[in-house]
């Protein structure tokens, strides 16, 4: 069996990967509760509600992540 990944074509003509909150948390090594706290504070990456599911595009996630860089580090 092959695993199927959700994809969507952006307006720029390339295929973007859609990530779940769990995948975001795994990649950042943070608890899921932190992700949802960010959503309440409008501090996390932009997310889309698709049906009952919350999804974050890889492009939006990477753009948000670039804004969190510590200038001192």
For residue 73, pLDDT beyond 80: no
Of 66 and 13, the structure prediction assigns the larger pLDDT to 66
Confidence of residue 72 (pLDDT cuts 50, 70, 90): confident
Structure confidence at residue 13 (pLDDT): 63
Tens of pLDDT along 7-53? 555 455 668 899 999 999 999 999 999 999 999 999 999 999 999 99
What's phi and psi for 14, nearest 5 deg? -115, 160
> What per-residue confidence (pLDDT) applies to 15?
80
Stated as kind and residue range, the H or E segment containing 52 is none
């Amino acid at each position: 069996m092959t695993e199927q990944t959700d994809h969507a074509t952006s307006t720029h003509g390339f295929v973007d990967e859609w990530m779940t909150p769990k995948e975001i948390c795994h990649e950042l090594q943070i608890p899921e509760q932190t992700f949802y706290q960010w959503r309440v504070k409008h501090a996390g990456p932009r997310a889309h509600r698709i049906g009952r599911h919350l999804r974050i595009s890889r492009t939006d996630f990477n753009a948000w992540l670039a804004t969190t860089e510590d200038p001192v580090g």
